[in-house]
Amino acid sequence: MNMVTAVSWVRNLFHDCIVKSCDASLLLDSASGIISEKTSERSFGMRNFKYVNTIKAAVEAACPLTVSCADIVALSARDGLAILGGPSFEIKTGRKDSKQSYLADVKDSIPNHNDSMSLVLDRFQSIGIDVEGAVAILGAHSVGRVHCINLVHRLYPTVDPTLNPAYAEYLKGRCPTANPDPEAVLYARNDRETPMILDNYYYKNLLKNKGLLIIDQQLTSDPRTLPYVEKMAVDNGYFHQQLSRALILLSENNPLIADQGEIRKDCRYVNK
Ligand code: HEM
Ligand SMILES: [Ca+2]
Ligand SMILES: [Ca+2]
């Protein structure tokens, strides 16, 4: 199992479940009147969807039309977290898959990297995740990467004063120009200390002004969130416990009931 795939599974859970429901709406490809949520600019950098199809094909071969794509999203995120050294927890099953995609809702549901903390806290609150849970769930940024396109505005023309100057120099090395070529795949690791471990280095970094996205660093400048950052930075067990709680809430967001959904044969298309 590739660790990078595990990282993708964790991000899939957020991008699916916060848009309407944990219903695999994210996984639909553009086809027959559907425009994929994957085409949203919020989905920038998402990768490894092909492995969800591999899992689905194996599950269908063993037990047809029984395990939804939405359950695969939830269970693969759970397993991805454990593989990355994050918390282990039980997750409910029985989710149904959506019969449509919600591209038009993606931008309202998933905040932008430079939105205000109030907007982000409101978004999480609307799916039942409180401030403590919101601080923990952003700790998913303890793994993975950010492309330069999402960073350069903090480096050029002047360095964002909330960014650690030595770290800014390092990031300039990763992202040498103000206008990164979108084809060049320039990026920085989310957490330079333990890039592939889902641990509390994310919070230790924030306290040293080494947050990568504006939204990450704002956790230390907002008096509502700072106390939780400080506590998570010194207590990985507490971080994992809050992260589990928040991810379970996310994974149970607004489930489809009765015939609102189906069990897709192929996660990329609604059933014929
Ligand atoms: C306010 C909320 C959030 C915002 C604005 C946000 C934004 C972003 C951005 C801009 C990236 C970098 C994309 C790229 O340049 O390739 C990213 C990466 C990532 N995000 Fe978030 N995110 C948020 C919350 C979350 C949550 C709640 C999770 C999971 C529970 C999550 C998981 C990840 C992961 C794992 C990556 C790394 C992906 C990879 O390396 O392939 N994010 N996020
Ligand atoms: Ca969804
Ligand atoms: Ca880490």
Whole-angstrom Cα distance, residue 74 to residue 92?
A: 9
pLDDT digits (tens, 9 = 90+) for 197-220: 999 999 999 999 999 999 999 999
In Å, the largest CA–CA distance within the chain is: 57
Are 107 and 156 within 8 A, CB to CB?
no
Q: How far is the CA of 117 from the centre of ligand 2 (A)?
A: 23
Q: How far is CA 183 from the centre of its chain?
A: 22
pLDDT digits (tens, 9 = 90+) for 114-171: 999 999 999 999 999 999 999 999 999 999 999 999 999 999 999 999 999 999 999 9
Q: Residues enclosing ligand 1, CB less than 6 A? A: 7-8, 10-11, 13-14, 44-45, 47, 111-113, 120, 137-138, 140-141, 143-147, 150, 213, 215
For the chain, first and last CA: distance in Å? Answer: 33
Residue 144's nearest CA partner among 201, 61, 89 is: 201
Which residue minimizes the CA distance to atom 5 of ligand 1?
A: 113
Residue type, 196: M
Residue 233's nearest CA partner among 264, 193, 265, 260 is: 193
Are 215 and 138 within 8 A, CB to CB?
yes
Residue 214's nearest CA partner among 174, 175, 161, 173 is: 161
Whole-angstrom Cα distance, residue 81 to residue 77?
A: 6
Question: Helix, strand or coil for residue 160?
Answer: coil
Q: pLDDT at residue 1 above 70?
A: no
Q: 81: part of which helix (H) or strand (E)?
A: helix 69-83
The whole-number pLDDT of residue 264 equals: 97
Which residue minimizes the CA distance to atom 31 of ligand 1?
A: 11
The pTM (predicted TM-score) of the whole model is 0.97
Share of the chain above pLDDT 90, in %: 96
Q: pLDDT at residue 257 above 90?
A: no
Share of the chain above pLDDT 70, in %: 100
Q: Is residue 153 annotated as a catalytic residue, yes or no? A: no
